[in-house]
Amino acid sequence: MMRDLFQVRIETPRGVFAVIFHAAGIYRICFPGTAPPEPCREGRPPWLDLAGDFERYFRGERVEWERYPVDLESYPPFQRRVLEAVRAIPFGAVCTYREAAARAGSLRAWRAAGQALKANRTPVLVPCHRVISAAGAPGGWSGAPGWKEYLLKLEGWSGS
DNA sequence: ATTAATAGCGGCA
DNA sequence: TGCCGCTATTAAT
């Protein structure tokens, strides 16, 4: 189901992010230097202090992203369960691909869990950076390189 | 309609 | 150490 989309640009210490949203939730996060692939108009989000939360987060403060509704409707069922499980990982904590798949209900589907994270349209709000490989390496990131490591460090993860 | 390719993991030789 | 199979989904054949 395709809805009318709006976007806000938000300045942070790490660059300008674009948040794409509609009335029922946040649809996509665009990292600095990337443009939204779908057409959208400028608009003001209905949620209070979204920009403030971004600034605080990129300054290293804890932010309760759970209070923002994220649009997960267009994902296939398993991917959606993975993203919901990943959303529940607390600030500063991490889990493995295996655990993420298990929490989504299919213990052996780590690989498919990786696909779900790759398909994740809303990084940061769905903190896919908190899913790391069992060996302690950060693992993949579908956007520009370095961001996963950066976000983990921002949340106090000391590395392997 | 089938097959290949994925943001990985654990078991077994 | 290296090989194998596994799961869900999409893209290519």
Q: What Å value separates CA A82 and C1' C2?
A: 31
Q: What Å value separates CA A99 and C1' B2?
A: 32
Q: What Å value separates CA A114 and C1' B6?
A: 8
pLDDT tens string A51-104: 999 999 999 999 999 999 999 999 999 999 999 999 999 999 999 999 999 999
Q: How confident is the model at residue A158 (pLDDT cuts 50, 70, 90)?
A: confident
Which amino acid appears at position A95 of this protein? C
Complete DSSP assignment for A66-131: GGS-B--TTS-HHHHHHHHHHHTSPTT--EEHHHHHHHTT-TT-HHHHHHHHHH-S-TTTS-GGGE
User: Can you give the pTM of this predicted structure?
Assistant: 0.94
Q: Which nucleotide is at minimal CA–C1' distance from A112?
A: C8
pLDDT on residue A160: 60
* Residue A5 Cα to chain centre, angstroms: 18
Q: How confident is the model at residue A2 (pLDDT cuts 50, 70, 90)?
A: confident
Chain C positions with any atom < 7 A from a protein CB? 6-10
